[in-house]
Amino acid sequence: MKDPILVVLAAGMGSRYGGLKQMDKLGSNGEALLDYSVFDALRSGFKKIIFIIRHDIEKDFRGIVLARMGKAVPYSLAFQELDSLIPPDLYRDVQKLGRTKPWGTSHALLCAADQIDAPFAVINADDFYGREAYTVLGNYLSTLPNTLAEAAIVPYQLEPTLSPQGSVARGICQVKDGHLLSVEELLSIKKEGETIYNTNPDGTRRELAPDTLVSMNFWGFPETILPEFQKYFDNFINASYTNIKSECYIPGAADHFIRQGSIRIRSLPANSEWFGVTYQDDKATAVRRIAELTTQGVYPVKLWQGL
């Protein structure tokens, strides 16, 4: 068995947040949410961290995030750019169309594929998943045979993942007998009063139960799945590159793998809290929760001296 790797998706633009939320200071010593994710992962058996970023934020990322972590974190960097892994002739067409939006989380993952040589977890940099979730997924990945047949997700209940500031995108999970049957990406979920609903592309509303299980992009895969991700992304690019807002999401890829029978994805329950920073006004809640968890002793005040 190989020690698992944590892949951190940190190349986002932060358009709704109004800035680079993956580096925003939330802890008492300037820590970002990804600091706590990496800290929890290292305590849960993960031995290497891969940060996926953009070249234009590399200097700040090194000077702010990596300098703070120091030698406590075994890491490497991968880079997601608009032209990464895109055929040159197709990219010329993309440039003419004026696309500026990144290609999505599946594309980001593939930008790190040449550095992934063990079972891996993949997370968002701007989400807090909780130590219990890393323990559950780390234990699973540490005993995962080197086959394509099994993967995992740690899902969360929908209501606590909503933002009072506006709509959010979530992958709606259907789970039976401990395995994921499907995951459907809904892009405009919000709560009004006691009602949670998604606004569909045609303007109709679809109500959702508060305890609906959703993907928060906390996945565990064998490294042997990466060629399947590449095939999925290649098909996406060929079919959708003219849509300048289209993105290739990991939940969509996972749903595809399930439907074609190439992989089974376990749903791993974890008594774990989630919070994140989709909008700028979400920051105060995240700062408060980090302070509370620090006061409770879950995290040391000086995080990177406590590992």
CATH T-level assignment (fold) for domain 5-305: Spore Coat Polysaccharide Biosynthesis Protein SpsA; Chain A (3.90.550)
Q: pLDDT tier at 101 (50, 70, 90 boundaries)?
A: confident
Chain centroid to CA 118: 18
Q: How big is the CA angle at 294 (ends 155 and 136), to the nearest 5 degrees? A: 30
H, E, C per residue of 3-22: CCEEEEECCCCCCCCCCCHH
pLDDT tens for 194-240 read 999 999 999 999 999 999 999 999 999 999 999 999 999 999 999 99
pLDDT tens for 10-33 read 987 555 544 567 788 899 899 999
Q: Report the predicted TM-score, pTM, of the whole model to 2 decimal places.
A: 0.93
Axis crossing angle, helix 131-142 with helix 33-43, rounded to the nearest 10: 40
What SS3 state is found at 163?
strand
Q: How much of the chain exceeds pLDDT 90, in percent?
A: 81
pLDDT at 306 over 80: no
Q: How much of the chain exceeds pLDDT 70, in percent?
A: 95
Taking residues 282-307, report their average pLDDT.
91
Taking residues 142-169, report their average pLDDT.
88
